[in-house]
Amino acid sequence: MDWRNLPRSGGGVQRGGGGGLPGGGLAVGGGIGGLIIALIAMFFGVDPSVVLGGNQAPPAQTQPQTQPGAAGETEEYEFLDRILGSTNEVWSGVFQQAGRTYTKPVLVSYRGSVPTACGQGTSAVGPFYCPLDNKIYMDTAFFNQMDRQLGGGGDFAYSYVIAHEVGHHVQNELGIADQVTRAQQGARTQAEANSYGVRLELQADCFAGVWGNQVADLANLTQEDVREAVNTAAAIGDDTLQRQSQGRVVPDSFTHGSSEQRVNWFMTGFKSGDPNKCDTFSQEYNQL
Ligand SMILES: [Zn+2]
């Protein structure tokens, strides 16, 4: 993947957080066991009010430093900036064709802990999107975890993670996230509420695939790159994670979809490049 061919975001990546210890009152479970469960349940999460324990802290008052194109920027910063920049171009184009305007999200790169409009975020929750401030929060140490545990990593795999979170921003812009939240509130059972969340997550995977399709030529994507993203999507399927953490699979408790579903929806977007193919809401749930 030649990610250096991709366009810059023009200041969309900010640095936030001081790398301090997680703030108090964060309901992500105690002890190491709780931490692992929280991580499994929440990374790639869509609802930070759940992710962050519904503990709505006042909006963050810190001023993250922007470093657009600053001399001496790290390779990691440039990578985040170009992936974000390319998602901005892809989604601005898609929205424009539909007669709409795309509001670009901010990506906050942090280490350890970060204040957000959705409460205090920590590395333990993995990458997440906060719809209240339209920001994607990435502790890039997550990339190291992907290398070790979650399918092997790779630059296109990291890009998929970012593009998935951008997908949640797109859903927020389109009002899909709100509709899902309302549907979840009206759900009769937890399993039904979970099913809406799974549809939302699979759509974000599909949107990530759409982005991949549209940058494939510019970034000279190879089969190996695609395999990286597929490996990640498979590694973070609910069934795979549940099998690893609890030794059994409970489909009703799925929040993000099975490995097969995540791979399939990513590839649906990647092969078509068409967000209209990402309608995960009109199909029968058991046929997703
Ligand atoms: Zn997600």
> What are the pLDDT digits (tens) for 4-59?
999 999 999 999 865 433 333 333 333 333 333 333 333 343 233 333 333 334 34
For residue 152, the SS3 value is coil
Confidence at residue 3, expressed as pLDDT on a 0 to 100 scale: 97
Q: What are the tokens at 192?
A: 């039904």
- Pairing outcome for strands 13-16 and 106-110: parallel
Confidence at residue 36, expressed as pLDDT on a 0 to 100 scale: 33
- Distance from the CA of 149 to the center of ligand 1, in angstroms? 18
- Distance from the CA of 164 to the center of ligand 1, in angstroms? 6
Q: Please give the backbone phi and psi of residue 43, each rounded to the nearest 5 degrees, phi first.
A: -70, 145
Confidence at residue 71, expressed as pLDDT on a 0 to 100 scale: 55
Report whether 48 contacts 126 (CB < 8 A). no
Confidence at residue 248, expressed as pLDDT on a 0 to 100 scale: 93
- Distance from the CA of 215 to the center of ligand 1, in angstroms? 21
Confidence at residue 124, expressed as pLDDT on a 0 to 100 scale: 82
Report whether 240 contacts 224 (CB < 8 A). no
- Distance from the CA of 12 to the center of ligand 1, in angstroms? 20
- Distance from the CA of 170 to the center of ligand 1, in angstroms? 12
95-114 in b/e form (b: 16+ CB < 10 A) is beeeeeebebbbbbbbebbb
Q: What are the tokens at 171?
A: 């859903």
- Distance from the CA of 204 to the center of ligand 1, in angstroms? 6
- Distance from the CA of 32 to the center of ligand 1, in angstroms? 23
| Paired residues of 179 in beta bridges | none
Q: Please give the backbone phi and psi of residue 137, each rounded to the nearest 5 degrees, phi first.
A: -110, 125
Listed as ranges, residues in the chain with pLDDT below 50 are 19-69
- Distance from the CA of 239 to the center of ligand 1, in angstroms? 16
- Distance from the CA of 172 to the center of ligand 1, in angstroms? 12
